[in-house]
Structure 1
């Protein structure tokens, strides 16, 4: 996924945080992989999950939070993507 698309989703106009956003994008990819999701930018749900996760982490950079910041929508998307991977793996 191009950094510009990610910045559009988060509504960032400057290049000031490009290094941070790239790091968050890589972390989001690893997070999804660890959740059982195959990397696949051709899948719109995968792109949405990366966008949502990066936006969440970018907006909530505090170490401690009193609330669960990941939305139910995000959790549902990851669940669907992980299910797709299991189907592909089991053939």
Structure 2
């Protein structure tokens, strides 16, 4: 589905009714906005969370991202001394 939006005087966008219906959006719903290169991405917070959980699910249970982060920080700190 394609739609053209017009930026209003106060910087507001109106999402066309067809798009809102297709996405199940209702007045008062919150959307997360992020900039990806030259694109603006709008998504429902629950969809963003589901995407992040999917990415985290790919990390093997035997791998500790916290331990890796701490090791990187310790290495960076030792280089700064």
What TM-score, normalized by structure 2, do the two folds share? 0.27
Larger Rg, first or second structure (1 or 2): 2
* More strand by percentage: 2
* More helix by percentage: 1
